[in-house]
Structure 1
C-alpha cells in the first residue's frame, strides 16, 4: 500500500535536490574523495525515501 507512494516521493526529493543542487553537488564531491561515503549516503537516502512516506501516511 505504502510502496506506491515511494516513487513519487523519490521523484519529488530528486526534483527538489536538483533545483537547489545541494545533494547532487555533495554526491559529486563524495565520488571524487571517498566512494564508501557515497554508498553510505545512498543507503541513508533510500532509507529515508522509503520510511518517510510510510510515517507520513500513517500520521
Structure 2
C-alpha cells in the first residue's frame, strides 16, 4: 500500500501577505526538502507544486 506526499509552499508564505514568522525561512525550506527526500527514500510518491499568480488584464 502506498500514499502520495504533496507539499505546496506558496510564495506568499515567504514574501507576501501570508508571510510566516516561525520557523524562519532559512529553516523552512531545508525542512521541506528533507520531507521530500524522506518520502523519495522510501518510494513514497511525491509531487512538488509551484503556484502561478494570475494577473488580470486591464
**TM-score category (smaller protein):** 0.3 to 0.5
Larger Rg: 2
Quick check: which one's strand share is greater?
2
